[in-house]
């Protein structure tokens, strides 16, 4: 697995594996900003928990995050 995706994979393994059948709502500008900040490692623990719930519930958010990582990398963010 690509090392940058390993960070996302490890992050999501800490949360509920149930993803099927959840909302695929469109992404707001605020959510996109949070996902970019997640990619860069600039969210605090509470924000990471909140965004992780969105990622589990919204496949579009996950697709956006993966596309961001593929296009830009993690910006030097390290797994915590």
52 vs 38: CA distance, rounded Å: 10
Segment 32-60 shows an average pLDDT of 92
Where is pLDDT greater, at 69 or 24? 69
Those residues whose C-beta lies under 8 Å from the C-beta of residue 30, and which sit 6 or more positions away, are: none
Tokens 């990582």, residue located: 69
54 pLDDT more than 60: yes
Mean pLDDT of the chain: 80
Please report, in angstroms and rounded to a whole number, the separation of the first and last CA atoms in the chain.
18
Where is pLDDT greater, at 5 or 56? 56
* pTM (two decimals): 0.67
């Amino acid at each position: 697995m690509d090392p940058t995706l390993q960070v996302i994979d490890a992050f999501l393994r800490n949360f509920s594996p149930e993803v099927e059948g959840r909302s695929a709502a469109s992404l707001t500008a605020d959510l996109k900003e949070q996902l970019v900040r997640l990619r860069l490692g600039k969210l605090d623990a509470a924000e990471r928990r909140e965004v992780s719930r969105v990622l589990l519930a919204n496949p579009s958010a996950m697709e956006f995050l993966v596309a961001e990582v593929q296009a830009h990398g993690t910006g030097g963010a390290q797994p915590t």
